Structure 1
Amino acid sequence: MSFRMFLLAGLLLFFEAFARGQLPPSDQDVKAAYLLNFARFTDWQNPGDANRPLVIGVLGVDPFGEILEQVIGRRLAKNRPITIRRYKNIQEVEACHILYISASEKNRLSAILKYVSGQSVLTVSDIATFLDAGGCIGFITFNQKVAFEVNLVAVQSSNLKIDAPLLQVARTVRAR
């Protein structure tokens, strides 16, 4: 099965719950599902981490509430359990694999990216200037749907590797 079909099947299963008379998925539901897939299709180059949970952190005002826990549940990424942590400031962030940077942190974005620079942290945000500032994955709205763009230079400088099928699903991949 091709990756696109696999991803489509996964998203269809995710949205099936909403088809049973519930409201359609919110943008935050979709972003949470993407965060799970980012965890599944990114390789961290720290072999010592293989036995530890994969940590998804949310920095700043949390736009997800309980949605992230509902979407992640007890699912695994790279055969590892996933832990969700919330941080009020960048100094609290440690041992984080994926860091979602909330829009509330827009004015501190460059300091945050500098703080995680050189660490194997996949940074994700929906701040409009995120990729230009050096972030790894930026959420966008395209045709009234949540999509994402990838800054491959930032990903590589974070010593990460995103699997090719995930890059194929990205709306845009910046290679320079």
Structure 2
Amino acid sequence: MKTMIKRFALISTVVGLCLTVPVSATAPEGLETEANAPSSSSMPFQIPYNNFCSNSESGDFDFEIVNTSDQPVTFTLYFYNVNGASITAPGLPGSADSAQTNIVPGTKKTLAAHAAALYYADSTSSTGYCTTGRPFSGEIVVNSGEAVFMARGSLYSARRNTNFSANILQEITVNNGQPFKLIATEPTLASK
């Protein structure tokens, strides 16, 4: 009897293996993966700027966007303060040997193929920077056509007094440092 049960179990196992249907793993419905995620017209990002800020001590903020497409693109870069208000102050002009600015937040900009848009501000030169001009989030919005961008930034804070000295460098990553595609949404009849 035991031999018959063992044979039946062995046969059942073999037949079961032969009838097994291959299964592929897919993302649950509604959960998009990076490879199959639908394109968007915007890319929001966080700016980790909840640290010391003073008009008398150094605090630098720089951000850059590169159009990796083979064609020009028109887009708008937005920055928002801690209360969600839009920051529209132009950055500092800089010079050839320092950080530069060639974009104004909240204003459309056409960027040539493979060109970079740069923004720079600091706490000692930008009026109201620490109170209302310090960005905590941002968004890149493509206004026409489609483009592939890469974007990054950094924050640098230095605090010094007689008892304490600290230098803090924080990186701003957008889309985990990977290129991202944005496609402008077509205006609807109601918005024309």
Give the TM-score normalised by the residue count of structure 1.
0.26
Is the helix fraction higher in 1 or 2? 1
Give the TM-score normalised by the residue count of structure 2.
0.25
Q: RCO greater where, 1 or 2, for CA within 8 Å and sep 6 or more?
A: 2
Bigger Rg over Cα? 2
